[in-house]
Amino acid sequence: MSRILIVEDDERIRSSMRLALEEEGYTVDGVGSGEEAVSRFGTEPYELVLIDLMLPGIDGFEACRALRRTSTVPVIMVTARSDTHDVVAGLEAGADDYVTKPFVAKELAARIRALLRRSRHEDEDSAFLSFGDVEIEPEAGVVRRAGVEVHCTRTEFRLLCELANHPGKVLSREQLLERVWGYDYFGDGRLVDVHVRRLRTKVEPDPASPRFILTVRGMGYKLAV
């Protein structure tokens, strides 16, 4: 029974989402502000957090950053619009995925399942992976750079494994979206872009001119061999 924390200031939405997600078999707690979310998250273990970006007090971005400082828990943000920079800002604040209001409960449940599935049993390729001074232990879920452990979110970790499993091969955004997030062809490529950027700041010596995780213009991304 996975525990989910909903951060949403509209009480009705919170209640209806709790009803719908409980129907899917999750245990759901709801809080109405970012501050409450941070304090509640510190005391109780949650396997996934849903954060609305528009919150009174500290907003969803800030709450997400606060969670990220201590945790790699999967975060789904709830936005009003999909075509704004809110999405990118939310992803950069550390969210793993996003849904747009009004969302269909089944779709939200599918997103949650995809993220939790990834969190549960990590990578099926359990070999030891490495490139440059970066070492990955897929089974342990550990990434080290020059022997020092690097803290990645589970989505970043999964993306890194996907790239490292196919060194020198170009993976399209669609392929990465499908393998890492479980999206189809029309998934939002910005998820990949922002996660790649986040990943670069963790494993690249100079994230501005990457040596390992390369952009192949018009094609996708690849790990340099």
Q: How far is the CB of 139 from other proteins (least distance, A)?
A: 30
Strands 97-100 and 27-31: unpaired
Q: How far is the CB of 196 from other proteins (least distance, A)?
A: 8
Nearest CA to 49 out of 32, 22, 28 is that of 28
- Contact string 111-150 vs other proteins (x = CB under 8 A): ----------------------------------------
Interaction of residue 201 with other proteins, rule CB under 8 A? no
Structure tokens at 37: 């979310």
Q: Which two tokens stand for residue 8?
A: 């949403």
User: Which residues, 6+ apart, have CB-to-CB distance to 214 below 8 Å?
Assistant: 221, 222, 223, 224
Beta partners for residue 7, in sequence order: 31, 51
- Options 125-133, 136-144, 149-157, 212-220: segment touching other proteins (CB under 8 A): 212-220
Interface positions with other proteins (CB under 8 A) = 10, 12-13, 15-17, 19-20, 23, 80-83, 85, 88, 101-107, 110, 173, 184-186, 188-190, 192-194, 197, 215-221
